[in-house]
Amino acid sequence: MSFDRGALRRKGGFTGMGEKLRTVLVVDDDPLARLHLERFLKREGHAVLMAFDGQQGLEMYRAKSPDLVLMDVMMPIMNGHEATRRIRAESVGADVPVPVIFLTGVEDQEMLAECLRCGGDDFISKPFNHVILQARLNAWLRRVELAEKIAMDREAIENVILKMRKDSRFDPFSMRFIMTPVEKTTGDLVLSARDEAGIQYVLLGDFTGHGLVAAVCGPLVSDIFHSMVLKGCSSLEILRRINRQIHDRLPVDMFLTASFIALDRQAGRMTVYNAGMHPLFLCRRGMGLSGPASRLMPLGIVRDIPMDDVEEVIPVEAGDQIYCYSDGVYETQAPDGRFFGGENLDRVLSGIAASGAPLESIHHALVQFRGDDDQRDDITLVELTV
């Protein structure tokens, strides 16, 4: 879930640690307790929302997005434990999870432990001490403010990376592609360029992991790729340089699986280098053909990678459509553990090639295949037409 900076500004913005106007939701069925807490919180400079049971508290949480929740345990309609479980279920993936502090007169140790198991962050026993309550509130609100600052910094970094990845040298000639990241930025990479002879070089790469850390590595590979194609370097020279730079400049656990294609339309052939990726898919006159399996280890694992017998030359014809894809496509799993790749992938890609359907068709097929499960890896599909 992306961080809503506009919402932050509407709430008053940052004015320094502890100085931002905060909204506290009080969920308690005791009217005297609510009144007492309202007076206390307003004296502390907070805006206050009131709910008299867990159901109303959940609805108010959805509508008002408070900064902190004070939750009673024993309430009619919906108790505090259940309300907190639902709040946590609805805030999965949030950059700044809302702290939930239980205020309870319950002394049973098992029920107090359940306050934390259900998703609560802390609990304070009633009758509470004002000094302790104030200290706990301030401590949790400082954590909220720190999390907001981290989220804003992350958003700024993501925007920088997105701008860096927009390379004006990218050549989209006779190709379509779709990228659906798990987060705002993606660890997948699509590059395309043509040399003076008209040979089109295409690289689809998938860095270790996904999200911000993987996305940082993309501009390094992009710059090497485009500059070396412009200089007329061979495919193997480009791959060697990318491999060495990843090995020398990135952490040891970062590597790149890649499909690298040199498409020579005039000669009617393409040269394929598969470095740890699933085989590409070639559709010719309605027939699907599987490309070469990996002959090259992922780039960046060792500095001097063996380059003997790693290429495969495949004849191509006018009208051929070539598809390569990241692991996120092939390895999407159904609830029963089956992978999408194989017959499902052949069927969907053959359908796209035959009908010219949007590449988003693959995304719809993957969503249907995985059911209620969340997307776990970046999804990228590239179509190259001869």
Task: Say how far apart CA 231 and CA 201 lie, in whole Å.
Answer: 13
Shared domain for 152 and 282, answered yes or no, is no
CATH number at residue 180: 3.60.40.10
Choosing from 113, 128, 159, the residue where a domain stops is 159
Contacts made by residues 132-138, CB under 8 angstroms, sequence distance 24+: 133/40, 134/44, 136/101, 137/24, 137/44, 137/68, 137/101, 138/18
Q: How far is CA 137 from CA 60, 115, 343, in A?
A: 20, 17, 56
CATH number at residue 147: 3.40.50.2300
Q: Would you state the pLDDT for residue 67?
A: 94
Cis peptide before 127 (omega within 30 of 0): yes
Please report which residue ranges of the chain form alpha helices under DSSP H.
5-10, 31-43, 54-64, 80-90, 109-117, 130-165, 212-216, 218-230, 235-249, 327-330, 343-355, 360-370
Shared domain for 327 and 181, answered yes or no, is yes
- Report the amino acid identity of residue 374: D
Give the sheet arrangement for strand 23-27, strand by strand. Answer: 47-51, 23-27, 68-71, 100-104, 122-125
Shared domain for 185 and 134, answered yes or no, is no
Shared domain for 250 and 375, answered yes or no, is yes
Q: Would you state the pLDDT for residue 5?
A: 38
Q: Would you state the pLDDT for residue 19?
A: 55
**Tokens coding 194:** 């043509």
Shared domain for 131 and 183, answered yes or no, is no
Shared domain for 145 and 252, answered yes or no, is no
Taking only the tens place, the pLDDT of each residue in 209-239 is: 766 777 778 888 999 999 999 999 999 999 9
- Report the amino acid identity of residue 247: H
Shared domain for 151 and 178, answered yes or no, is no
- Picking from 356, 379, 384, the residue whose alpha carbon sits closest to that of residue 369 is 379
pLDDT < 50 stretches in the chain:
1-18
Cβ partners under 8 Å of residue 11, min gap 6: 20, 21, 23, 67
Query: What is the number of structural domains in the chain?
Result: 2
Shared domain for 102 and 58, answered yes or no, is yes
Choosing from 124, 159, 194, the residue where a domain stops is 159
Shared domain for 110 and 207, answered yes or no, is no
Q: Would you state the pLDDT for residue 2?
A: 40
If one counts every other C-beta atom within 10 angstroms of the C-beta of residue 168, the result is 5
265 is in which domain, residue-wise?
A: 167-385
Cβ partners under 8 Å of residue 135, min gap 6: none
Shared domain for 90 and 205, answered yes or no, is no
Task: Say how far apart CA 215 and CA 116 lie, in whole Å.
Answer: 35
CB 261 within 8 A of CB 291: no
Shared domain for 25 and 124, answered yes or no, is yes
Q: Would you state the pLDDT for residue 182?
A: 81
Choosing from 127, 159, 191, the residue where a domain stops is 159
- Picking from 6, 35, 5, 11, the residue whose alpha carbon sits closest to that of residue 23 is 11
Task: Say how far apart CA 309 and CA 288 lie, in whole Å.
Answer: 25
Shared domain for 45 and 94, answered yes or no, is yes
Q: β-strands 321-325, 281-284: how paired? A: antiparallel
Q: Would you state the pLDDT for residue 10?
A: 38
